[in-house]
Amino acid sequence: MNGHKRPAPTSSIRTALILGASLLAGSVSASEVSFERLVASEAAGEWLTYSGTYRSERFLPLDEVNRDTVDDLKVIWAYQMQPNHIPGAGLQETTPLVADGIMYLTESPSSVTALDARTGKRLWHFSPVLPPGVLHIGFPKVNRGAAILGDTLYVGTLDARLVALDAGTGAVRWETEVGDNAIGFSLTLAPLALDGKVIVGVSGAEAGVRAFVDAYDAETGELVWRRYTVPAPGEPGSETWGGESWRTGGGSTWLTGSYDPELDLLYWMTGNPAPDWNGDLRPGDNLFTCAILALDPKTGEIRWHFQYTPHDVHDWDANQIPVLIDAPFDGEDRKLVAVANRNAFYYLLDRETGEFLLGTPYSKQTWAAGLDENGRPIVLPNSEPTEEGNLVWPSLQGATNWFSPSYNPVKQRFFIPNRRMGAIYYKAEAEYEPGQPFMGGGEQALSGDEATGAVLALDALTGEQLWEFPLQTPPWSGLMATSGDLVFGSSNEGNFFALDEDSGQPLWNFNTGAHIRTNPMGFAVDGKERIAIVGGSTLFVFGID
């Protein structure tokens, strides 16, 4: 499949395509976010990318809300997301963007809304028409956010299109078909905008797709390059796939990556091989699945890679957020990339070379005796799925998942939303059929008292645990540290809270009344700090009056 540009639709066709971008107050003053501004987006008050900055620290450098003032935090405004027209698309996993006083919020499955960041007033709304029976094999009908570059917003759709919108009106500028939804491709991630390019990855490994990372021209929507995560015969890594298994190898790329403008390297994570639980059908290490890829953003060339879980048979995608850290390591200043992996190990790599530097378990796991000197797991015997079922920790949902960690670059602390759950893994036969599940087994996760969670604080450079804040159930939401010495997080039951960063002690909480399945974010408007979270289908924005 080659991505291709569709011309900007005429006004009559556009209405059919998007149900109209409803302009409640006419055109609004559009944000103008240059690449240079994205690079410098550590500036207080900006939230211009999915993870806050290209470094993906999800750290808010504001301190109006701190240990002494957090008790005064209250809801400033709230926004109720629009009723969707797709059954089952009620989960909201979005992180908003804020630029020039305007918030850009995606709503599942694929809509975008512009809000006045001061009041929550809706400025415009875009809702694409999705085909009946849109496929979403192995994942919910969600959208995690948008990207902005210049005066254009970029959003992916559940049926695998990339759409460019006018940031001032919501009008469609162009749209591009990224993959064929009929065989399982979908876009659920927030794109990443670079200098003149928009980067996207795909969902669909559970349908046996051969996944990729794409770069599109930001102005035209033309495909610039495509990097497959499963190599074809003769390409580097192809020897790690037996027979014809590469054709349906998976390796989804469904979570937003990170970028180092100084090294000009793009860091993108990859998911599980397919079929998920029957490794007999794909002998070998199955590169480049369950890995991090350092890509040349100009060409898509793989500069280096590191595979966290070779020949994965537990569905432990490496689709977690890679956090870029500059710090001394073993007495030498290093450019690092840190990942709390779904497989229950915390890793540090040199982000210039991919050299393995550190790996240590941060959660209960029963599948590996540890990591060797190169970071390869030392797999324990009898830890694979069986026809009868085999109990292994962690569950397929992992010791963490897609939701974001947070890193405080001042105190060099790494915060992890930790899921503590095992599962009984089953192995079964699998036969590929386009557009159908291709999994080769299943799992039964432990529940009740056997499943808990925590917020963990680690020393980012050693992996040593500093403290933990226990949760009654495994979380499905991320974290955000701030300059106010706080860590914001959520429980699965809908409790939004602030912890003391030094001790992990709870200082404040607010019950949203609904499950929380997203990440906190923050911004400043009119010089006032704001903290935002989505509970259920309501966006809550907090501040100190």
**What does the pLDDT read at residue 30?**
67
22 pLDDT more than 50: no
E strands along 298-409, which residues?
Answer: 302-307, 323-329, 332-340, 345-350, 356-361, 368-371, 377-379, 390-392, 406-408
**Nearest C-alpha neighbor of 95 from the set 540, 490, 520:** 520
Residue-averaged pLDDT of the chain:
93
Amino acid at 283: P
**What does the pLDDT read at residue 11?**
31
**What does the pLDDT read at residue 447?**
86
1 pLDDT more than 50: no
pLDDT digits 0-9 by tens, 292-312: 999 999 999 999 999 999 999
Using pLDDT thresholds of 50, 70 and 90, give the confidence band for residue 84: low
Question: Mean pLDDT, to the nearest integer, of 498-510?
Answer: 98
90 pLDDT more than 80: no
Evaluated on CA atoms 399, 402, 404, 405, the torsion sign reads positive
Q: Is 315 one of the catalytic residues? A: yes
Using pLDDT thresholds of 50, 70 and 90, give the confidence band for residue 45: confident
pLDDT digits 0-9 by tens, 69-80: 999 999 999 999
Strands 506-511 and 59-60: unpaired
pLDDT digits 0-9 by tens, 388-422: 999 999 999 999 999 999 999 999 999 999 999 99
Question: Mean pLDDT, to the nearest integer, of 499-514?
Answer: 97
Q: Quick one: 468 exposed, middle or buried, by C-beta within 10 A (0-12, 13-18, 19+)?
A: middle
CATH of the domain at 364: 2.140.10.10
Question: Mean pLDDT, to the nearest integer, of 244-250?
Answer: 97
Using pLDDT thresholds of 50, 70 and 90, give the confidence band for residue 10: very low
The phi and psi torsions of 202 (rounded to 5 degrees) equal: -120, 150
Expressed in angstroms, the distance from the first to the final Cα of the chain is 52
**Nearest C-alpha neighbor of 525 from the set 148, 75, 170, 44:** 44
21 pLDDT more than 60: no
Using pLDDT thresholds of 50, 70 and 90, give the confidence band for residue 132: confident
User: DSSP secondary structure string, 440-477?
Assistant: SEEEEE--GGG-EEEEEEEETTT--EEEEEEESS----
pLDDT digits 0-9 by tens, 415-431: 999 999 999 999 999 99
State what percent of residues in the chain have pLDDT above 70: 93
Question: Mean pLDDT, to the nearest integer, of 267-276?
Answer: 98
Cβ atoms 437, 206 nearer than 8 A? yes
Using pLDDT thresholds of 50, 70 and 90, give the confidence band for residue 462: very high
Cβ atoms 389, 375 nearer than 8 A? no
State how many domains the chain has.
1
Question: Mean pLDDT, to the nearest integer, of 467-494?
Answer: 97
User: DSSP secondary structure string, 135-175?
Assistant: --TTS-S-----EEEBTEEEEE-TTSEEEEEETTT--EEEE
**What does the pLDDT read at residue 15?**
31
27 pLDDT more than 90: no
113 pLDDT more than 90: yes
pLDDT digits 0-9 by tens, 168-213: 999 999 999 999 999 999 999 999 999 999 999 999 999 999 999 9
Cβ atoms 5, 118 nearer than 8 A? no
Q: Which residue of the set 159, 260, 285, 315 is catalytic?
A: 315
Structural domain of 512: 4-543
Evaluated on CA atoms 384, 387, 390, 392, the torsion sign reads positive
pTM over 0.85: yes
**What does the pLDDT read at residue 449?**
83
Using pLDDT thresholds of 50, 70 and 90, give the confidence band for residue 539: very high
- Helix H or strand E encompassing 61: none
Using pLDDT thresholds of 50, 70 and 90, give the confidence band for residue 41: confident
**What does the pLDDT read at residue 474?**
96
13 pLDDT more than 50: no
